[in-house]
Amino acid sequence: MKAFVFILAISSIVSAELPPYFDALADGMFTVFDNDFDRAEAIFDSLAKIYPDDPTHIVFRIMSETSALHDSENETLAVNLVARMDSAEAFCIRKWGREPTDQWGAFVTGNLLGQRAILAFVTENGSMLSAWNDGKNAAKLWEFALNDSILAIESAIGLGNFYYWISAKAGILRTFGIVSDKRDTAIALLENAACNSQLGKSNALHSLIFIYLDHGDTANALAKLDILTGIHKDSRTTKWDILIMNYVTANWDEIPPVADELMNYYRGRSDFNLCQLALVAGYAECKLENYEKSCEYYAELDSVIDNAIKKKLKRRDQWELYETLRDCCTSKRK
């Protein structure tokens, strides 16, 4: 109930005038979710030429590049990207100040810091302290942007993710009230964005899938995935979501076809993704007792895996799955 009242309150705030390029940003972000990063970045670059004194388009281009990095799992790009994020932050400060009084400036700067926080969290050489500081500062900016009714919807995506995962991972700190539990508020924020966001509807749906799975609500996760599939059926991001959903729900028959489609794309592009896909597909075939097919996946995985990939699998908590598949195939060869 508190979450509903909170959403009702922010939805009743008067909206400021949106920038004239808002619809173009929405087109670009839709294209990012379809993994057409070159086209999305061309949109943002064209806007930067028209509005050279506005850092918005640089920030949104960086958001596209960050998505491309995550898609390729190529962490070698991270150092250059972080440097560009630092430069974009300086641009934002020159434009809006360190503590923006403009809701749009707060929203854009929050998005930049949020992206940098995620990058620091997921990359091997990232800093947890940097991730926490950027995430906390991004949340403050998004909270300020809630004063605008439209930006409240758009800011809800980053803020909802921050609220949920900080609360979910707080453990004993949450139990003793040291960290407040904002999971219900987070879900309400993201549900509102999934219905009403113009810039990030797809990202809100994507986030809700994993939040509902973490929350133990598979039915709602499946419902969000169905909506997302209807909007972005050809997106690799959507296909990863389908793959993970089938894995979580032990729908083993449905995993290999999706994995095969993605593997066809990533061969020669991302050995780590190829390994992840072969791993989950091989495991699914093992569960189905299709041992010959399972071992074919393992053989492809084994042909590209190296120490760096092994280290990354361990960091992603996928090593036990790797050992299970390896043992399955080793035992069948004897």
Mean local confidence (pLDDT), 186-210: 97
The percentage of residues in the chain with a pLDDT greater than 70, rounded to a whole number, is 91
CA distance linking residue 272 with residue 139, whole number of Å:
31
Question: How big is the chain by its Cα radius of gyration, in Å?
Answer: 21
Q: Inform me whether the pLDDT recorded for 176 exceeds 70.
A: no
The pLDDT value given to residue 174: 43
Please give the C-alpha separations between residue 49 and each of 39, 44, 54, 58, in angstroms, as whole numbers.
16, 9, 10, 11
The pLDDT value given to residue 228: 98
List helix spans (H) across 128-200: 128-145, 149-168, 172-175, 183-196
Q: Inform me whether the pLDDT recorded for 125 exceeds 80.
A: no
Q: Inform me whether the pLDDT recorded for 3 exceeds 90.
A: no
The pLDDT value given to residue 167: 85
pLDDT tens digits, one per residue of 149-173: 899 999 999 999 999 988 887 544 4
pLDDT top residue among 1 and 309:
309
> In the block, which residue shows the tokens 């219905």?
195
The pLDDT value given to residue 15: 53
The pLDDT value given to residue 113: 97
pLDDT tens digits, one per residue of 78-95: 999 999 999 999 999 999
Q: Inform me whether the pLDDT recorded for 12 exceeds 70.
A: no
Using CB atoms within 10 Å of the CB of residue 74, give its burial: 0 to 12 exposed, 13 to 18 middle, 19+ buried: middle
pLDDT tens digits, one per residue of 246-269: 999 999 999 999 999 999 999 999
Average pLDDT for the chain:
91
**Separation of CA 233 from chain center:** 17
pTM, to two decimals: 0.91
Q: Inform me whether the pLDDT recorded for 7 exceeds 90.
A: no
Please give the C-alpha separations between residue 74 and each of 80, 130, 263, 272, 315, in angstroms, as whole numbers.
12, 20, 16, 9, 15
pLDDT tens digits, one per residue of 270-292: 999 999 999 999 999 999 999 99
